[in-house]
Chains A and B, each alone.
Chain A
Amino acid sequence: MPGGVVQEVVLAMLAKEPSHGYELRARLRDALGPVGEAMNAGQIYVTLGRLEKAALVSAEREPGLPDRPDRKVYALTPAGQQRVASWLAEVTWPGPAPVEFHLKLAAAAAGRLADPLTIVDAQRRELLRMLRDTQRAAMAEPDHSAAGLLLEGVALRLQADLRWLEACEQYWITPGSQSYEGIPRGL
């Protein structure tokens, strides 16, 4: 969703009560902490614009105020309410699946393009860097902050990915380990 914020999130934040764009932005900021720092002010309005076009939200100008975008009050339409309800009931779990990386290793080994262990090492360094940045941000959060909770989720996922890389390493390091085409690893 380049340039915007996940539509369902904005809809769900509007479900409580009709709100100005800047109020939504403040709520997002509170929930995201340092994770939301890269977001610019316009992104919420981009999303609101799309939602308005899709008739999921309605916008009304507040009477007697200058014509500025953040003076619009946004509210859910019935279709918007329905979308929120079905979003809350969804159980899809976002996140990068390891399929691509797995196939990269298999293809590298089969085509003798590169040593899978070198690829694993490079990936591990990158994940460790990400984990370091996440951990530093988490350490800077006060206890019981919502953003801290989010960062914990990010850190736990990275840890899981790092553990999987260990398993990849074990697999590709074992003499006689086979590629997906049955070609012995011989690099």
Chain B
Amino acid sequence: MNETANGIVLRSRGLTKTFGKGDGLVRAVDEVDLDVATAETVAIMGPSGCGKSTLLHLAGGLERPSGGEVTLAGNRLDQMGERALARLRRTAIGFVFQAFHLIDELTARENVELPALLAGSSPRAARRRATELLDRVGLADRAAFLPAALSGGQRQRVAIARALSNDPLVVLADEPTGNLDSAATLEVLRLFDDLRSTGQTLVIVTHDSRIAATADRLISMRDGVFVDETRLSGGTRGNLSALAGLEG
């Protein structure tokens, strides 16, 4: 699978998703153009119902668009047959969800092994990969635990390890910190930061301004369209004291 020459791994043009008909027609995603570069972290923010989750589903081939194009590393998702799309989802895209979606009956390691097994890895290779990934997310000592025995932050880290199983071209995360408290959110943010430093492409749909603030690019979405785009640059660490109420 080749990436396009200009370093854009995920791209959409005129991407549209409508629900309903006639007067009840809702344009959940309305002719959206998106370019995500390799190794970039993009956060998409907006109020509930603005279409950001639908956009993520279209980008990940979980839903079919009503119009427009979506391309992942040169592959037109909107034109792909179901089988090919399912294969691409398994091998090229990592999903992270708000509710973790781990399988309760499987241990952390077995959850992480699953995508590799589904993609045709040998059990031994899948186990090796899972062990390595759990170590990477700081949960090597929890490999044999069932999800119920893990904290929310730990469960999400297992889910992120699972998303990385097949070395995806892009990780798509839908409100990954939505169910987490402040400390667990920090764990996940640290992990995303680590992924970014290794060149993993990330697209995160979120309400959480902490994620937005640490992304390379922040897109604001409203009523199915992009209304603002921000690259945060500048700012100094020296401001921290004043921010904390300590003038100096």
Contacts and interface: CB of A to CB of B under 8 A. Distances in A.
Interface of A: 1-2, 5-6, 32, 34-40, 43, 94-95, 121, 125, 128-139, 143, 150-156, 158-159, 162-163, 166
A135 B213 contact: yes
Grouping DSSP codes into helix (H, G, I), strand (E, B) and loop, the A interface class, with mixed when no group exceeds half, is helix
A36 B246 contact: yes
Find the residue from B234, B235, B239 having the highest chain A CB count within 10 A.
B235
Interface stretch (B22-30, B76-84, B109-117, B186-194): B186-194
Contacts of A130: 235, 239, 243
B245 A132 contact: no
Contacts of B246: 5-6, 32, 35-36, 39
Contacts of B237: 34, 37, 133, 137
B72 interface: no
B210 A135 contact: yes
A139 B235 contact: no
Interface of B: 47, 182-183, 186, 189-190, 193, 209-210, 212-214, 218, 228, 230, 232, 234-241, 243-248
B182 A156 contact: yes
A138 B152 CA distance: 20
Nearest to A173: B222
A128 B230 contact: yes
Given A1-B247, A32-B246, A129-B234, A39 B241 contact: yes
29 contacts: A5-B246, A6-B246, A35-B240, A35-B246, A37-B237, A38-B240, A39-B241, A39-B246, A94-B245, A128-B209, A128-B213, A129-B235, A130-B243, A131-B210, A132-B214, A133-B243, A134-B240, A134-B243, A135-B189, A135-B213, A137-B237, A137-B240, A138-B186, A152-B182, A153-B244, A154-B240, A154-B244, A155-B182, A162-B209
A125 B232 contact: yes
A35 to B, nearest CB: 4
A45 to B, nearest CB: 14
Nearest to B237: A133
A1 B248 CA distance: 8
Given A131-B209, A153-B244, A154-B243, 4 more contacts: A125-B230, A154-B240, A155-B210, A159-B209
Contacts of B232: 125, 128-129, 132
A15 B109 CA distance: 52
A131 B213 contact: yes
Contacts of A121: 228
A-B pairs, 8 with minimum CB distance: A129-B235, A131-B213, A132-B213, A38-B241, A35-B244, A38-B248, A162-B209, A128-B213
